[in-house]
Amino acid sequence: MRYALAGLAALSLLVLVACAKPTKEELLRKAEGIKTRTELQQKMGTPDDIAKFGPLERWIYKGSNGSVVFLITGENVALGATSDKQ
- How far apart (Å, rounded) are the C-alpha atoms in residues 60 and 52? 12
DSSP 1-57: -HHHHHHHHHHHHHHHHHHSPPPHHHHHHHHTT--BHHHHHHHH-S-SEEEEETTEE
Is residue 78 one of the residues assigned to a domain? yes
> If DSSP codes are grouped into helix, strand and coil, which group holds residue 69?
strand
Instruction: Note down the domain range covering 74.
Output: 22-84
Number of domains composing the chain = 1
Instruction: For residue range 23-77, list pLDDT tens digits in order.
Output: 999 999 999 999 999 999 999 999 999 999 999 999 999 999 999 999 999 999 9
Q: What pLDDT, on a 0 to 100 scale, did the predictor assign at position 12?
A: 53
pLDDT at 8 over 80: no
Q: What pLDDT, on a 0 to 100 scale, did the predictor assign at position 82?
A: 85
- What is the CB-side half-sphere exposure of residue 7 using CA atoms within 13 A? 4
- How far apart (Å, rounded) are the C-alpha atoms in residues 67 and 77? 16
Domain containing 62 — which CATH number? 3.30.1450
